[in-house]
Amino acid sequence: MGKVFFSVGMSLDGFMAPEGMDMAHADDPSYKDWASQWLELQKWTFRQRFFREIQHLGEGGETGQDNRILKETFDRTGTSIMGKRMFDGGERFWPEEAPFHTPVFVLTHEVRGPWERPGGTTFYFVGDGIESALRQARAAAGDKDVRIAGGANTILQYLNAGLVDEFSIALAPVFFGAGIRLFDGIDRRKVTPKIVEAIHSPLVTHLTYSIVKR
């Protein structure tokens, strides 16, 4: 059985997403710079050859350690789990070929049949909790790992329930000032991280932690 993990970008002041990056504010001109903030957080990924290939962004790209980390994360992932708010935003902004290329289990109260997309991504909608979604994701993943894709609230639920084995953060040299914090509401009595690895590159610092099981 594979591991349960998450791998996300984070700003130096602890935000996973900038203010306004949600369906309620996506078209509000007061938050019109959320997209540029998010691109600044993720710009290192767009420079990597593997990311450009898998997202059909054209030839070229870097092939160093950042590229290797992206590819290893993709290759280990057998299935993903996400919250409904992340799915709602993605359904609107992702290309037709969604960026997962695996089964994805969406936590929701909405009753909806599977939604198959080109490129190997099929979304399944789970209405009976995080543990049910994880059981289904494990079964679909086989020997590979289950990735908790997001958003922050979904990651937090799995962390506080003791269901995450490890996580990695791509710490970018940017400040958001406001937005969605990755660890707001963490139960420090239940979650004990242990550093596994820190890798520096010119654009981002990759931090990997395991979770000490109690």
Please give the domain boundaries of the chain with CATH numbers for all domains.
4-31+77-211 (3.40.430.10)
Tokens 């099929």 identify what position? 122
Q: Which helix (H) or strand (E) holds 7?
A: strand 4-11
b/e per residue 110-128 (b: at least 16 CB within 10 A): eeeeeeebeeebebbbbee
- Give the count of beta carbons closer than 10 Å to the beta carbon of residue 167: 23
Whether pLDDT at 82 is above 90: yes
What predicted TM-score, i.e. pTM, was given to this entire model? 0.91
| Dist CA 22 CA 99 (whole Å) | 19
pLDDT per residue over 124-173, tens digit each? Answer: 999 999 999 999 999 999 999 999 998 999 999 999 999 999 999 999 99
Q: Residue 58 has what pLDDT?
A: 86
How far apart CA 158 and CA 134 sit, in angstroms, is 9
- List, in sequence order, every residue forming a beta bridge with 104; answer none if it has no partner: 80, 123
User: How wide is the angle at C-alpha 150 spanned by C-alphas 148 and 154, nearest 5°?
Assistant: 85
pLDDT of residue 28: 60
In the prediction, which pLDDT does 79 show? 97
> Tens digits of per-residue pLDDT, 194-210?
999 999 999 999 999 99
Span 37-81, pLDDT tens digits: 989 999 999 999 999 998 888 889 999 999 999 999 999 999 999
Whole-number pLDDT of residue 133: 97
Cβ–Cβ under 8 Å, residues 16 and 181: yes
Please say if the pLDDT value at position 26 is more than 60.
no
In whole numbers, what is the pLDDT of the chain averaged over residues?
91
Q: How far apart are CA 9 and CA 179, in angstroms?
A: 13
pLDDT tier at 30 (50, 70, 90 boundaries)? low
Q: Contact at 8 Å (CB) between 159 and 130?
A: no
